[in-house]
Amino acid sequence: MDSVGYHPRRLMPRPIRLAAGWSVALLAAFLLNLALPRPTAAPEMAVLDSTRAPAAAGASPTAAELPPVASPPAGNEGDGGALRPVQLAPLSAEQAAALQAATDRARQAFGLDALAIGVSLHGASGWTGASGFGRDGVSRLDGNSPFAIASITKTFTATLVLQLVEEGRLSLQDRAADLLPGVRVPADVTVAQLLRHTSGIADILPTLREPLNADIERTWTAAEVAETVPAPWFAPGRAYAYSNTNYVLLGMIVERVGGQRFATQLRDRLLHPLELSHTGMLVAAGAPPLMTRSWASAFGTAGCMYASAHDLLAWGDALYGGRVLAQGSLRHMLAFKRHGYGMGAETIHVGELTGYGHSGLLRGYTSLVVRLPEQDLTLVVMGTTALFDPARLLAHRQGSGPSILDLAIRYGARVS
């Protein structure tokens, strides 16, 4: 493994890094899906806090059992209630056929069982489509077919957190331990550090992989997941390391501060107002059977949502188009540090272009929602089962056929 950049003491900062060094990140992502041991040491170059012992395990109430924080004063609500869906005008039959052909070529070139693509031009017109079959090997797919979106879930979680900040019910500098009494959280970790993956809290995967595979029907609570997390990787704020635990804890904070279950707030604040009818939590009643219950419930608000290409495209347009968060909150989300991560968003390179959004990878599902601001494009990729780089797929050309990105730029230029 050393020949391709893996080292047992090295921790990759992000399961999928859609930038230079893809081959190394690809290996890390591959390990994420296999039952191989993962390092639990801190990332190299991180400064560890050797003076703080890990919190002792104890009775950890779920966030729903904690008393809710007081409601905001009148007139201090966020923008969520003003959300309205926007219907994209369809592309021409010729343009749709070209995008479908490019999607078919990409699926075959990357060896995928299924691939769904979404393209939005200036938030006004667009196309969604799919190639291949569902996991049953029979069902035909289209732009409304559900896929697990894994870590793109974090964009929804971060949005709910930032909405509560807008409403004055939460501060980015609040300490997570104060918001979640009885839950194992290092004392000085702030909400902002959870959002940015600079908390130093270790990831849930190394200790949970075997239990999740051993009992696939078990439903894990967030509090149970938090109790399994090993000692911190480093002191809060001293380094960056991508950790799903951060967003599991943020989901608990959303429930504590919002006074309702995460799924309820997700539905009422975001899904219903935007009419995202093919989006939800994989552990909810009536959800499509895309993932074993143990894995879906354990990753929770860090990675257990599903969506269709149509809905994910609408979500990307609304979020990055400034229709969900106030401008100040969106600036926080997109304030990327040198490691390329903001607050629930990351920098993404597609071909020679640079944008932002989020990727996802879990249990055979790979996904991406990316906004290319200079071209005023939003693009979505959702695929199974082979491991692949979704940004590279968008830019992939085969023979004389244009890439999906080529077509999106060409059609966008015609209507700009």
Choose between 119 and 67: higher pLDDT. Answer: 119
Find the range with the poorest average confidence among 253-257, 374-378, 386-390. Answer: 386-390
The pLDDT value given to residue 344: 98
The 10s digit of each residue's pLDDT in 198-243 is 999 999 999 999 999 999 999 999 999 999 999 999 999 999 999 9
Cis, peptide link before residue 385, omega less than 30° from 0: yes
Q: Per residue in 173-203, is it b (16+ CB within 10 Å) or e — as a string?
A: ebbbbebbeebbbbebbbbbbbbbbbbbbbb
pLDDT surpasses 80 at 58 = no
- Spatial distance between the Cα atoms of 318 and 228, rounded to a whole number of angstroms: 36
Query: E strands, 213-300, where?
Result: 280-281
- Spatial distance between the Cα atoms of 134 and 273, rounded to a whole number of angstroms: 29
User: In 149-204, which residue ranges form alpha helices assigned H by DSSP?
Assistant: 153-166, 176-179, 191-196
For the domain 2-46+144-395, what is the CATH code? 3.40.710.10
> For residue 41, what are its two tokens?
């040491």
Share of the chain above pLDDT 70, in %: 80
Contact in structure between 235 and 48 (CB atoms under 8 Å): yes
Share of the chain above pLDDT 90, in %: 75
Domain borders along the chain are 2-46+144-395
> For residue 92, what are its two tokens?
């021409």
Tally of CB atoms within 10 A around 252: 29
Choose between 64 and 123: higher pLDDT. Answer: 123
Beta bridge partners of 369: 358, 380
Q: Is 296 left (phi over 0), alpha (psi -120 to 50) or beta?
A: alpha
Beta bridge partners of 121: 125, 377
- Residue 326, classed as helix, strand or coil, is coil
By residue count, the chain amounts to 416
Q: Are strands 377-384 and 114-121 parallel, antiparallel or unpaired?
A: antiparallel
Instruction: Provide the mean pLDDT of the chain.
Output: 84
The 10s digit of each residue's pLDDT in 72-117 is 333 333 444 468 999 999 999 999 999 999 999 999 999 999 999 9
The pLDDT value given to residue 139: 86
